[in-house]
């Protein structure tokens, strides 16, 4: 029987001005070592951003890190643009 995995993201809601920098954190209770970040805009499907196994990855103005010892991932957005608005989700496997 597989136990439930708890995933907490913070902050839950974030309001920014264009050009701001911000960071989202994802903490999880599993010993799994891979994590994915997605973005979703209202009424649209998930947009894949990153698949992490431990190394830092970058894409445009996004950067994602994964610390498997702390069981935590961070998503950094620098100089935010209107295209960055949406709901960000992390998933582990």
Q: What's the total number of domains in the chain?
A: 1
What pLDDT was estimated at residue 57?
96
Q: The domain spanning residue 71 has which CATH number?
A: 2.60.40.10
Q: Across the chain, what does the average pLDDT equal?
A: 87
pLDDT for 22 beyond 80: yes
Task: Answer for the pair 59, 36: CB distance below 8 angstroms, yes or no.
Answer: no
Give yes or no for residue 3 having a pLDDT over 60: no
Tens digits of per-residue pLDDT, 32-67?
778 999 999 889 999 999 999 988 999 999 999 999
Is 14 within the bounds of a domain? Answer: no
Domain hosting residue 77, numbered range: 19-92
The pTM of the full predicted model, rounded to 2 decimals, is: 0.85
Residue 76 to residues 19, 36, 86, 91: CA-CA distances in angstroms? Answer: 13, 14, 14, 16
């Amino acid at each position: 029987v597989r136990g439930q995995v708890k995933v907490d993201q913070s902050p839950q809601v974030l309001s920014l001005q264009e050009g701001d920098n911000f960071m989202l954190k994802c903490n999880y209770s599993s010993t799994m070592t891979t994590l994915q970040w997605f973005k979703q805009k209202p009424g649209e499907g998930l947009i894949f951003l990153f698949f992490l196994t431990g190394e830092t990855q970058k894409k445009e103005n996004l950067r994602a890190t994964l610390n498997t010892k702390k069981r935590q991932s961070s998503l950094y957005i620098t100089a935010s643009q209107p295209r960055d608005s949406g709901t960000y989700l992390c998933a582990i496997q």
